[in-house]
Structure 1
Amino acid sequence: MRSLFTALTLSVITLSAIVLPASAATKQEVEGFVDRLKSGDLDENVLLYATADRRVAFAHINAWMPTRPLFPSENPYALTTEIDRDLERVSYQVGGETFTVGDFLKREPLMGMAVVKGDTIKLEHYAKDHSPESVWVSFSVTKSFTSTLIGAAVKDGFIGSIDDTVETYLPRLRDTAYGAVSIKNILQMSSGVAWNEDYADPDSDVAKAGTFQGTQLTDYLGTLPQKHKPGTVFNYNTAESNLLGEVLRAAVGNSATDYMNAKVWQGFGMEHWGNWMQSAPFAGETGGCCISASIRDYARLGIFVKNGAVNATGKSIVPNGWMAEATSPSKGYEGYGYKWWLEGGGTYMAAGIFGQFIFIDPSNDVVISMHSNAPAAVETNYHAHANAAMKAIAASFGS
């Protein structure tokens, strides 16, 4: 994905304005990273960053990209802590070998992890340069919450129905393939419009347009042909989530960050500062990417949706039955809902590249949150261990 973050030299923010989270990179390390971006010593492709550079970049998106702030609540959703060391002895298998959660906690790519049973933290782990206050970019975890905000916009009456066509809210896409598909098709990544999401291909659609927003995005998407009947074939497509962000902003007449602040960060009660990356200064948020939040607030996001997207006043921000629909198999792919990955047995998760996860097991009342710096974007041995460990931990609460 060339230039997941674009216009770097234009968007670098004065570091004196940035508050560095506790135990994150030092100011000097962040300044050095930004200087290398400005000089061109760092490739603009985040997938090509060295491990050490990603460790700085992912913790400090707001130091080198424009962002909008997510404000901590004065009354955060309360979590208690009762650490259960027995969880470190839970076993899982990868490649026919048996490992324990304790083994997983020693893996270098793991930056932070929390296991929450009900409202109680049962396991919490951080790398040496990470802490409960450290924020970390979520990448495509954000997609699942853009989806949830679409549900809120339906409940609030800003969107009539997810069966409405995209062009209802974005008339500039009228008479294009994307204009005619439904919001539901976009939620399920089943528009049927041609798109290449190959991160290793510099000529792929995601390399060319994966970070586009606004008219740049719709101009590009408006040129793409229909390949399949809408709603029938799943095709993972970052641009469709960015397009969903465009629909959301057009419908609510506000920024997605303000809507997220009202509905979730304040409405439910997040503990720490977060931020949502913009594609360029003064531009819209990337609907498919890049909310940064602490590991405990990742977990709170999971608790929020597990409980039916119910806010601090006891009212759901989404229509009745929304979360059940959002986590039900789609026609195009039974492992995907409304931008939630379905993991079987009623479990589901939000997932982002390099190993960002919010894993939710409603039947066992468990949420697992994870910050990672995996050696590659997807499908590494670390990813296999993370997935297996999360499932084993959640299942252990039912035994």
Structure 2
Amino acid sequence: MPSTLPDGDPAPASGELPESALEGLGGRPFGFYVHVPFCVTRCGYCDFNTYTASELGPGASHADYAATAVTEIRRARAVLGDAVPQVETVFFGGGTPTLLPARDLVRILEAIDGEFGLAPGAEVTTEANPESVDPAGLEELRRGGFTRMSFGMQSAREHVLKVLDRHHTPGRAAQAVREARQAGFEHVNLDLIYSTPGESDDDWRASLAAAVEAGPDHVSAYSLIVEEGTRLAARIRRGELPMPDDDVAADRYLIADSMLAEAGFGWYEVSNWAVSDKSRCRHNMLYWTGGDWWGVGPGAHSHVGGTRWWNVKHPAAYAQRLADGVSPAHAREVLTPQDRAVERVMLELRLSDGFPVAEIERPVVAARALGDGLLDMEAFKRGRAVLTLRGRLLADALVRDLVG
């Protein structure tokens, strides 16, 4: 089943934000996330808010989705007023955004540009499954203002893809990268997943080699997380598949970092590598460095000035709220200064730029991490807490210690 929404305070039907959220609007980077909640089939490991045709039910459709999203974009403009800056990044995620016709994705982007204005050189990304694109669609996206493609490759081994319930053939992701390049996309990402049950070290090395050979300028690699309520979790519970092993995952991460570094990719966030600074995902950097963004779509999350809110989950309920002239927001929370400080440590410490040493509230913990080889000594002397390779493996535990 699709993911559940977190608890929170009721969101006003008007969508109005507290004054504290609007203070400083315009002085922080601003972006849009557009959630497209449609998939052909549900991958066994996925707990995202997505719907196949059989799950969608009445009241929502692919054909109407672009118009509904445009309605929310216009509401965003009314809520944020004139102080909002131009949009620096837009990210279409899902689901599979490219199940919509390219013209619909371009229509949504044009609405963002029309209401807010895209900043010169804005980054515009869409996720895609390799089998959901073709050369004509990619060319239309590029002409329409998209600048970056992100393909879900996951693995180059057929038996691993089968465990993940992925239905593209192993070589299709590389072909999609070539088609994106031919369409004029300078920036292309491949997503990989490691430590899938049944995957060997050699399988993982083969996936990394295939990803590098495909020619992207960015690679994301994530350890498989077994989420409750997914088909994968049920198979593991029944004993059909083993639970992923943390030590194996750590070994796979080391393999990834070594092979990607050898191929010219540098890590800039624990799970992300790029061939240059300009190849980094600017939209994710906006998330990780305290920017503002408006999330469009069912279940989409937004953040402006310390206020976070999330939309109703089902596409039909989302569409109905907008048709009724009310905000699709389900609930929200206003972060305290302490909440924001903790989140800043959690996010910035995962970046290769690190976190200011002078702002660490538990210096004894930082000193111990330095002695344990989790933080880079030379960076620490320059006033930055930067994770070593070993520190990246233990990043979550270190952050917990630092924030208390």
TM > 0.5 fold call: no
Greater strand content: 2
Which structure has the larger Rg?
2
Higher RCO structure (Cα 8 Å, ≥6 apart): 1
Report the TM-score, using the length of structure 1 for normalisation.
Answer: 0.26
More helix by share: 2
